[in-house]
Structure 1
Amino acid sequence: MTTKDNGKAPTLKQFLQVVPVGPNEWESVYGGCVLALCVSAAFASLPTNDAGRIYDVYSVLGTFLGPTSTKTKLRFTVEDIRTTKSFATRKVEVWQEFPDGNGSGTTSRRRTMIQLVDFHVREPATSVLSGMTYSKRPLHPESCCDDPDALISQDQYLTENQTSAISKQFHHVFPLFFRYLDMKPIPESMGVAKALGLNSAVRTSQDDLPLQQRTNAHWWRIKEVKGGGGMLTTPGERAAAVAFFDAVSAVSTLEFSLRFFSPPNPNEWLLHEQHTENAGMGRTFSTGRVWDKDGKCVASMSQQSIMRAKAEREGAKL
């Protein structure tokens, strides 16, 4: 599957149906794009009209086996590991074919990602224990104290608080944010003030906190395009959108664990807060969580990423 260039930016709903290989300087597909497409593939394999059962995704565990190129098609294989009255599990693999480089015209096949996706058939309300509906709050109160409709947009925040050079660089490094999402940054979070590390010299209210307590936080929702397009209608589309946003990053993710606690609705405002927890041995471990406007945590994602000193990165490969 590949995108079609019709001169118009595709909606996120169209993005979830193709491989959004938007240009970047590394000629690699963003990890969140591949993750979202795998989730969509898993949903597409579920039984239909199965005695009225509703399958809710609750766990997505995956490993990046190598960079995914923008230069060749992606192929997805989905294996039915189990399908029972209460659960379904799918193994999803992403494959690409690459020229061998010897001029013979032959190609080699390589996996770039593998996922295990688990679904739980929705339980009747009578089976939910009284008092057993609760969720963790954001790390910092500032993350959820404001009405997102009253906050300024990501673009306006950059214009008012960063130099034109930083704003231009932010658009270049994170173009998919502006193409598919409405975003309202939380000004008190360190990641916002420092433009996700592009302006590290800025002083913030979180500078004196331990590293593990510093945050990056935004409200976000799917961008509605003129004519009503862009809204996501199926559970698979909505879960894939959360997977996409939760994984978009400038670092190289090694493995991740994405868990859903209730079906998210990214057509409405969702709060995303990120923080790091551990680092060492050339890797970092970070967590991001997503809340709805009612303060209910609907999803959580943790991931380990590669972390190398600048001198060691030159010419290095994963």
Structure 2
Amino acid sequence: MAANFIELVRLRSTSSPSTFISCSNPEKMGNPADIAYGGCVQALSVMAGFHSIHSHPNLLNFQIHSLLGTYLGPTLADRKVKLTVSDIRTTRSFATRFVLASQIFDDGSERNTFCATIDFTAPNKIDLTKAGEPFDRYGRKPRMQYAPPEQLPSMRDIVLRKVQEGKVDRAAADYLEQTVFALNVKTITNVHPPQGLHAQNAMGLDPLAESEQHSSALTDRFSVDWAKSLQDLSSPPSPPPVESLQKCDEFKDAGAPLSVTSAAANAALVAFLMDGALSFIPLTFSRMSLVDASAASSLDCALRYFAVPDMDDFHLREMQTIQGNECRTYSEAFLWDRNQNMVASMTQACVLRPHAHKL
């Protein structure tokens, strides 16, 4: 397993300048199925997009604008990911890349697991300070003023308190931290304001926890947390030597590991973070947990960046679910910096299927 986030998303070159291989296997998180966390393949796709535009000297200052992706099949956690990038558009103002992620099976066959159209834009050069709304910056604010992150508990703190109160089994608490969300623990620092439903029910570990939110419609319930990178992203470490990497038997032409820029690392971590939990919040907002569904997985996603992120500092995330019907759900998340400037949004359509024996 990768030692940290940078090594999780670091790519290797190949004999083709438009094809990359992940240095590490993607890892599991959150989903009860035996597959990799979707945020891993999104983050890898962002990295591949950045490598593609950085191969053009005139695009070095371009900023990521959006990722519109579709999950084509489960990404397995026991093998590397291949990322093939196509140049859809390169102009003075826009660079659009189509990224296709795939994996090689033991029989030699190759299956596509994810695809995304990723847009990059040239920085705005117009001075808008005197233009006023709607030309100057505006945006929706968080639901309320929350305590600063330095004053708030981690999910581990919340769970251990519930263990002491006899509301959560210690073995279940350890399983949540060490298995279900182990990847999150080694990549992101999270703390939770008490107003959020996940702070009250411990991410569904205490599904029957009392909450004022349960008197509201499901679409009015929400969770909130502060998050930042556990690793310093301002100056990512140099690539490790090839001989130190995990073996890559399925891709014979995998070459040297590539450098990671701070801009790419921050953008990739936003994708990694914003994918989290959206497929299962209809459960955890409904006095249920992950074990109450036979399937809870993302189908497609739309991630939009409204500012250059700096994930070395805490950002505030709110999540809510909007719609559910015919085993499909639609949920969204928003991300703000400390000054309540919106930095990114994520919307996802997901599959949410009950167990057949409970119907």
TM beyond 0.5: yes
**Given the alignment, which residue of 6, 9, 32 partners 1:13?**
6
* Residue in 1 that maps onto 2:269: 241
User: Contact 2:155–2:202 (CA<8 Å) still a contact in 1?
Assistant: no
**Given the alignment, which residue of 88, 91, 96 partners 1:81?**
88
Per-residue CA distance 1:87-127 (angstroms, 9 max, x = gap) = 0000000111213xxxxxx4221100010000110011426
* Residue in 1 that maps onto 2:208: 201
* Residue in 1 that maps onto 2:342: 297
SS in 2 for 1:46: helix
Q: How many residues align?
A: 295
Cα 1:65–1:48 shift into 2, 3 Å: closer
Q: Name segments (4+ residues, structure 1) moved above 6 Å.
A: none
* Residue in 2 that maps onto 1:168: 174
Cα shift at 1:56: 1.0
* Residue in 2 that maps onto 1:276: 321
CA distance in 1, matches of 2:59, 2:113: 35
Cα 1:257–1:33 shift into 2, 3 Å: same
User: Contact 1:292–1:298 (CA<8 Å) still a contact in 2?
Assistant: yes
* Residue in 2 that maps onto 1:32: 39
Cα shift at 1:223: 1.0
Residue segments in structure 2 that go unaligned for 5+ positions in a row: 11-22, 238-259, 281-295
User: Contact 2:331–2:349 (CA<8 Å) still a contact in 1?
Assistant: yes
Which residues in structure 2 correspond to 1:106-121 (within 5 Å)? 106-121=107-122
Please, which moves more after superposition, 289-298 or 200-209?
200-209
Q: Do residues 44 (structure 1) and 51 (structure 2) align?
A: yes
Which residues in structure 2 correspond to 1:53-72 (within 5 Å)? 54-72=61-79
Cα shift at 1:176: 1.5
User: Contact 2:28–2:183 (CA<8 Å) still a contact in 1?
Assistant: no
* Residue in 1 that maps onto 2:27: 22
Identity across matched positions, percent: 28
Cα shift at 1:14: 1.9
TM-score by length of structure 1 reads 0.85
**Given the alignment, which residue of 263, 284, 288 partners 2:333?**
288
User: Contact 2:26–2:79 (CA<8 Å) still a contact in 1?
Assistant: no
SS in 2 for 1:79: strand
SS in 2 for 1:38: helix
Q: Which amino acid aligns with 2:356?
A: A
CA distance in 2, matches of 1:152, 1:177: 16
Cα shift at 1:168: 2.0
Q: Do residues 308 (structure 1) and 314 (structure 2) align?
A: no
Which residues in structure 2 correspond to 1:96-107 (within 5 Å)? 96-99=103-106, 106-107=107-108
TM-score by length of structure 2 reads 0.76
**Given the alignment, which residue of 130, 133, 138 partners 2:132?**
130
Per-residue CA distance 1:135-155 (angstroms, 9 max, x = gap) = 1112x31xx421111112222
* Residue in 1 that maps onto 2:220: 213
C-alpha root-mean-square deviation of aligned residues, in Å? 2.4
User: Contact 2:155–2:199 (CA<8 Å) still a contact in 1?
Assistant: no
CA distance in 1, matches of 2:124, 2:28: 43
Q: Which amino acid aligns with 1:265?
A: D
Cα shift at 1:204: 1.0
Cα 1:48–1:110 shift into 2, 3 Å: closer
Q: Which amino acid aligns with 1:136?
A: R
Per-residue CA distance 1:241-286 (angstroms, 9 max, x = gap) = 0100111235310000000001111110011110000000110100
